[in-house]
Structure 1
Amino acid sequence: MTKFTFKYPIAFGACLVLMQACTLQKTASPALTEKPKVQCIWGSDKFDICRYDSKEAIINALIAEMTVDEKIGQMTQSVWHNSVSPEIIQDRKIGSIIHTEGPTPGPKVSDWVAKFNTFQAHALKTRLGIPLLIGVDAIHGQNTFEGAVIFPHNIGMGATRNYDLIRRAAEITAIETAGTGFNWTFSPVIAMPEHEHWGRVYEGFSEDANVTTKALIASIQGHQGTDLAQAYTIAATAKHYLGDGATVGGREGGNAIISEKALRERFLPPYQAAVNHGISAIMVGFNSVNGTNMHQNTYLVQDVLKGQLGFDGVVITDWLGGTRWGEPHTVINAGIDIAMQPANHDEFMAKLKETVLDGTVSMERIDDAVRRILGLKFDLGLFNDPFAKKELSALVGSTQHREVARQAVRESLVLLKSEANALPLKANESIAVVGEHANNSGLQSGGWTMHWQGQTHSYANSTTILDGIQAFAPEVQYQPMGCTSDTQAEKVVAVVGELPYAEFKGDSTNLALTVAQQEMIKHCKALGKKVIVVLISGRAMTVTDTINQSDAFIAAWLPGSEGMGIADFLFAANGFEPVGKLPTSWPKEYADLPLAQDAENALFPFGFGLSKF
């Protein structure tokens, strides 16, 4: 007999309820060939144990016992800091919470663990004691906690083509996410961006389906391991289903026009791979496909994803997705299982209940959603041990984890140009560093770093690019505003790029450097310096003139917290040679956009990257 155990006394009440439910013929699930064997044992003062024949038996027993309110609560996700107390979670029987932009539990890991354990404890005080899913957008490390390791954004990870490294980065992200109190991350993004205008290009691994699929598989393996119930694993979420990177004009939440042929040959294979490799959840996108929003797209969610692709995990909305595009019943009937309603969970729950009671939403659809949600909670081991993994807390931001991120940075850099012995740098050379991006970990990390839209100042326990360069060459001269007549250095490292942004606010038709940055590089070159440009960006930019003016040019993407990795590259530390390859095509000029692997018009085609300095 498989044993499922509740380790905490509060679960004993649920066990008694279930024993009664399972022994009564009228409440036993007709899907079972025999009634589940349930035994409740009062153990020591620490443990109460329930034993069941199978996961399916306990889930069926729970569903048979649950009220409509309890089921809808499981289908609702709120945000812990939006006037939502642990008592409200308990009273409304809400099944999951998230942490996102807003106040944090505190500056220390222990603050986060204590906060989310309090919410979990109140969930266990409900009639059935069903534990919470606790989610976060940990998309390049546990990027909401100041002190965690921040990896390069996915566009940089895709540039490495090192799938073992991508898996290891996901493992570390899972450890640091679990160590701060979470059991679920809303990543990886597996969009295949087709427009550099899109403000989320950097969240995708590549415009190429093959690279995206390999990186996706590695990410799932890293986050979820071989057993979700292990302490160091968390549930992963593939997003955003479907076509989020292919909207007309690269507009966030826009319309993607996708033929049935393209759907089958380009867009579905990565999601089929996600299903085949056991992804726990899939999030639908803000966008529409052929005019139908994904939150209401019954064909693509219910028929294709759950039916044809065989996905048996949880489908979740994006932000406010249960009410944003219509009434809740239209979203749930389309096949969505959990609605992320951080500001209006009461509205969502009340409206959904009305449509369940009047038959607009069938109980069969509700039970299907709840069965998937409870299944994920069982797979995560939450019915056995729902609380934060304190044993992992000490590993958050550890030196070992930072070394892996440092490796990821140096392997993610793509050398687009290298002439006139500009690289590698030598410690005894006369070197100057210019540009404000050089000494600011917020600027070098981009959006989804400490804050939703990122930040323009450094954060704790990070290493800037300047820090890294000075570790190799302590006498380096730093001039944030550019070269002057007093600049004595023969070589200048110009670190330039975009300001941080994320979804919606990152959509842009301006993909050029600022005039000030362009003039800074021109001036340094006019003074006779060898200029090495390090571009910090979330996408390929229209910088052909700047590339032509430089002696070496590096696409550094958004490297995260470990600026030492860029210094490793510049100084060819330990004999390092460039390995990064473009994950997207690189445009000659703005008029050529969108490129999407159009090698004929690209300045640098997809996959380009020099392997020698």
Structure 2
Amino acid sequence: MYIICCLSLIGIIANGKMKKSKEAQIEQKVDSLLKLMTLEEKIGQMSQIRHFEEAADEHITSKFIGSVIHTQGPNPGKTALDWQKRFVELQKKALSTRLGIPLLFAVDAVHGQNTFEGATIFPHNIGLGATGNEKLVEEIAKITAIESQATGFNWVFSPCIAIPFNEKWGRVYEAFSESTELTEKLTKAAVKGLQGNLADATTVMATAKHFIGDGATDFGVEGGETSLSSVEIKERLLAPYKVAVKENVGAVMASFNTISGISMHAHKALITDTLKVGMNFDGIVVSDWKAYSRFGENDIVNAGIDVIMAVDGDLELFQNGLKEGVKNNSVSMFRIDDAVRRILRQKFKLGLFENPFPDTTLVAKIGSKEHRKVAKQAVRESLVLLKNKNAILPLSKETKKIVVVGEHANSSGLQSGGWTVNWQGTQKNYKGATTILNGIKKLAKGTVVYDKDATQNHFDADVAIIVVGENPYAEFFGDIGHESNTLQLTLTEAHQKYLKTYQEKGIKTIVVLVSGRPLVVTKQIQNSDAFIAAWLVGSEGKGVAEVLFGEYNFSGKLPHSWPKSVEDFKGKYGPNFWDDSIKPLYPIGYGLKY
């Protein structure tokens, strides 16, 4: 026994030395490469452009670009192999430069590789928060990494680990929960799943976002002021970032909001002093969209931003502006070298200098049965049963006639929310997905009819499954009260009418709410026989039907307190929603079973 213990201890020490040795080797390589670089090459590494921008190919070689992003706009090609081919072309251009430093390729893969039609689309993070299942979240992250690599990406801008304070915020669904503790648990799982063994061809660099306070702005305004105290920020918002850093997350993205009137992109005390020094974060701090021109130009570099999204005309402004800043001593070479060292460090960790190209064999895994099986499990576990009067659920598969009502029942786009195929989502069906209606029809043995807008008068039905909710949105377009939309905290009049049409005829109604946040539906819950919070389910709508018909029990728990009244949002309790004076309709953690 003594010999075994000694051997085990020797093994642990040896592994520790090997890890330190590998890290030391990377640092030595970074230092050696950094010494060879000109100022222009260093600034190039800090520059991030889109692959479809005019002169993108030429800029990679002439301006020494360090990373490329795919955003809303022309796709790299029709097939996954086409996407890979495009990125290989760009990578070869980077490798042809004097020092041959490979590119990072980044994408907002926030619930699967959601920019590629045909990929597996998982429930958004709010739904994963409802599962509370860290093993499942880790598995989902692994699959997201595989399908991202299969389309040519080695860097993903996820997970979002914000703590939402107000349902009016348009990104509530991107975050796991209003609970700091639950967010910590799922943050660790997500980062671990995405990054794995970072040099492996099936893993990617993760990005914890958005640092910090994006979900806690006054009245839920995207990019607004976060007026929380420093103690509240430390206790409620910083904790998940500490977990991410401990899990060696490769990148952190800065947020649009302000704190004490200072843009987070220019907030040196939080970015450099708190994140980089205080938490010992050695990865990349990446800006959000067009941050250089929006938030103070060289001020954001001095604050600690390492990679700048130099898009929509910002590239020349950034590169020339930063070069001038070095010349006039307003930006130090130490700051430039720190940024480039972080970028090179992650490129070495990813193994890009040895294996700069994506693996073509991974293409076959995109949207595979195995991946969709995990996504369907996530749907089942994310559903939260709020009401089940007289045990109407589970439904019998032998039910003679079921009427399914609402456009959300028959659209994979509507059931998936924003960041699905397009930045703002889609209202159409997309490749490879199954709708909630598909699932119901497949499992039911009786008659199933579809009444899109509650005008077909199927009042002889034994039960009505009414699927209602929000239309897709992303970022500030999803803020309730934003001038660009008509979103509201309640169901639309049309959707309320769907329910009333069948309820007033005495038909038993099961309501499935598809939304990116809790909505005020107190009256609708009271008048329904069963009510389910389904969140944004992604591509596997059949998972909803499997639970409705009792193949699986409900297990989801509310990741947010559920509001009871629109009046509670009027601001009389301060700029943020939840405090001790507000009693929710359902508390966080609520959820029934059969």
TM tier relative to shorter chain: over 0.9
Tell me the amino acid that sits aligned with residue 554 of structure 2.
Answer: P
Equivalent residue number for residue 16 of structure 1: none
Equivalent residue number for residue 283 of structure 1: 253
Indicate which of 512, 528, 550 corresponds to 1:550.
Answer: 528
Indicate which of 445, 450, 465 corresponds to 1:493.
Answer: 465
1:16-55 paired onto structure 2 within 5 Å: 54-55=25-26
Equivalent residue number for residue 33 of structure 1: none
Q: Partners of 1:53 and 1:537 in 2: how far apart?
A: 48
Equivalent residue number for residue 586 of structure 2: 604
Q: Give, in angstroms, the shift of residue 516 of structure 1.
A: 1.0
Indicate which of 514, 537, 559 corresponds to 2:515.
Answer: 537
Q: Is the 8 A contact 1:490 1:529 kept in 2?
A: yes
Q: Partners of 1:596 and 1:563 in 2: how far apart?
A: 32
Q: Partners of 1:313 and 1:412 in 2: how far apart?
A: 32
- What is the DSSP-based 3-state SS (H/G/I as helix, E as strand, rest coil) of the residue aligned with 1:322? helix
Q: Is the 8 A contact 2:47 2:307 kept in 1?
A: yes
Q: Give, in angstroms, the shift of residue 87 of structure 1.
A: 2.5
Tell me the amino acid that sits aligned with residue 524 of structure 1.
Answer: Y
Q: Is the 8 A contact 1:598 1:605 kept in 2?
A: no
Q: Is the 8 A contact 2:50 2:56 kept in 1?
A: no
- What is the DSSP-based 3-state SS (H/G/I as helix, E as strand, rest coil) of the residue aligned with 1:54? helix
The yes-or-no answer on 1:508 pairing with 2:480 is: yes
Which deviates more, 65-74 or 104-113? 104-113
Indicate which of 544, 561, 569 corresponds to 1:585.
Answer: 561
- What is the DSSP-based 3-state SS (H/G/I as helix, E as strand, rest coil) of the residue aligned with 1:240? strand
Q: Is the 8 A contact 2:459 2:507 kept in 1?
A: no
Tell me the amino acid that sits aligned with residue 130 of structure 1.
Answer: I
Identity of aligned residues (%): 51
Q: Is the 8 A contact 1:532 1:550 kept in 2?
A: yes
Tell me the amino acid that sits aligned with residue 611 of structure 1.
Answer: K
Please give the per-residue CA displacement for 1:479-503, whole angstroms capped at 9, x wherever unaligned: 1111644442110000000000000
Q: Partners of 2:189 and 2:493 in 1: how far apart?
A: 40
Q: Partners of 2:292 and 2:199 in 1: how far apart?
A: 29
Tell me the amino acid that sits aligned with residue 538 of structure 1.
Answer: G
Q: Is the 8 A contact 1:137 1:186 kept in 2?
A: yes
Q: Give, in angstroms, the shift of residue 577 of structure 1.
A: 1.2
Q: Partners of 1:53 and 1:198 in 2: how far apart?
A: 43
Please give the per-residue CA displacement for 1:380-427, whole angstroms capped at 9, x wherever unaligned: 000000111212111011000000000000100000000123211122
Q: Is the 8 A contact 2:45 2:65 kept in 1?
A: yes
The yes-or-no answer on 1:460 pairing with 2:431 is: yes
Please give the per-residue CA displacement for 1:528-554, whole angstroms capped at 9, x wherever unaligned: 111000000000001111111110000
1:461-476 paired onto structure 2 within 5 Å: 461-473=432-444, 475-476=447-448
Equivalent residue number for residue 46 of structure 1: none
1:106-121 paired onto structure 2 within 5 Å: 106-121=77-92
Q: Is the 8 A contact 2:383 2:533 kept in 1?
A: yes
- What is the DSSP-based 3-state SS (H/G/I as helix, E as strand, rest coil) of the residue aligned with 2:49? strand
The yes-or-no answer on 1:166 pairing with 2:144 is: no
Q: Give, in angstroms, the shift of residue 333 of structure 1.
A: 0.3
Equivalent residue number for residue 431 of structure 1: 402
Please give the per-residue CA displacement for 1:451-501, whole angstroms capped at 9, x wherever unaligned: 111111111110000001011016311111116444421100000000000
Q: TM-score, normalised by structure 2?
A: 0.92
Q: Partners of 1:55 and 1:485 in 2: how far apart?
A: 69
Indicate which of 355, 374, 378 corresponds to 1:408.
Answer: 378
Equivalent residue number for residue 349 of structure 2: 379
Equivalent residue number for residue 103 of structure 2: 132
Q: Partners of 2:101 and 2:458 in 1: how far apart?
A: 68
Q: Partners of 1:598 and 1:382 in 2: how far apart?
A: 51
1:254-273 paired onto structure 2 within 5 Å: 254-273=224-243
Q: Partners of 2:236 and 2:23 in 1: how far apart?
A: 43
Q: Partners of 2:382 and 2:80 in 1: how far apart?
A: 29
Q: Is the 8 A contact 1:422 1:491 kept in 2?
A: no
Tell me the amino acid that sits aligned with residue 497 of structure 1.
Answer: G
Q: Is the 8 A contact 2:76 2:83 kept in 1?
A: yes
Structure with the higher helix share, 1 or 2: 2
1:35-434 paired onto structure 2 within 5 Å: 54-225=25-196, 227-327=197-297, 329-343=298-312, 344-429=314-399, 430-434=401-405
- What is the DSSP-based 3-state SS (H/G/I as helix, E as strand, rest coil) of the residue aligned with 2:506? coil
Tell me the amino acid that sits aligned with residue 191 of structure 2.
Answer: I
Q: Is the 8 A contact 2:163 2:236 kept in 1?
A: no
Q: Give, in angstroms, the shift of residue 527 of structure 1.
A: 1.2
Q: Give, in angstroms, the shift of residue 260 of structure 1.
A: 2.0
Q: Is the 8 A contact 1:177 1:183 kept in 2?
A: yes
Tell me the amino acid that sits aligned with residue 471 of structure 1.
Answer: K
Runs of 4+ aligned structure 1 residues displaced above 6 Å come to none
Q: Is the 8 A contact 2:94 2:101 kept in 1?
A: yes
Q: Partners of 2:150 and 2:459 in 1: how far apart?
A: 47
Q: CA RMSD in A?
A: 1.4
Q: Partners of 1:487 and 1:121 in 2: how far apart?
A: 64
CA 1:600/1:361 → structure 2, altered by over 3 Å: closer, same or farther? Answer: closer
Q: Partners of 2:492 and 2:580 in 1: how far apart?
A: 26
Tell me the amino acid that sits aligned with residue 593 of structure 2.
Answer: S
Tell me the amino acid that sits aligned with residue 608 of structure 1.
Answer: Y
Q: Partners of 2:215 and 2:458 in 1: how far apart?
A: 47
Please give the per-residue CA displacement for 1:51-109, whole angstroms capped at 9, x wherever unaligned: 99821222111111100000000001011112143222111110000001011122211
Indicate which of 523, 526, 543 corresponds to 2:501.
Answer: 523
Q: Partners of 1:53 and 1:249 in 2: how far apart?
A: 47
Q: Partners of 2:293 and 2:91 in 1: how far apart?
A: 26
User: How many residue pairs end up in the alignment?
Assistant: 558
Tell me the amino acid that sits aligned with residue 591 of structure 2.
Answer: G
Please give the per-residue CA displacement for 1:214-234, whole angstroms capped at 9, x wherever unaligned: 000000111011x20011100
Please give the per-residue CA displacement for 1:421-462, whole angstroms capped at 9, x wherever unaligned: 321112210211000000001100000001111111111110
Q: Is the 8 A contact 1:585 1:597 kept in 2?
A: no
CA 1:389/1:596 → structure 2, altered by over 3 Å: closer, same or farther? Answer: farther
Tell me the amino acid that sits aligned with residue 566 of structure 2.
Answer: Y
Q: Partners of 1:178 and 1:598 in 2: how far apart?
A: 45
CA 1:207/1:82 → structure 2, altered by over 3 Å: closer, same or farther? Answer: same
CA 1:219/1:598 → structure 2, altered by over 3 Å: closer, same or farther? Answer: farther
Q: Is the 8 A contact 1:585 1:599 kept in 2?
A: no
Q: Partners of 2:178 and 2:299 in 1: how far apart?
A: 32
In structure 1, runs of 5+ residues without a counterpart are 1-50
Q: Give, in angstroms, the shift of residue 168 of structure 1.
A: 0.4
Which deviates more, 244-253 or 414-423? 414-423
In structure 2, runs of 5+ residues without a counterpart are 1-21, 482-487, 570-575
Q: Give, in angstroms, the shift of residue 325 of structure 1.
A: 1.4
Q: Partners of 2:23 and 2:427 in 1: how far apart?
A: 53
Tell me the amino acid that sits aligned with residue 565 of structure 2.
Answer: E
Equivalent residue number for residue 35 of structure 1: none
Q: Partners of 1:185 and 1:500 in 2: how far apart?
A: 22
Q: Give, in angstroms, the shift of residue 262 of structure 1.
A: 1.1
Q: Is the 8 A contact 2:403 2:458 kept in 1?
A: no
Q: Partners of 1:597 and 1:416 in 2: how far apart?
A: 22
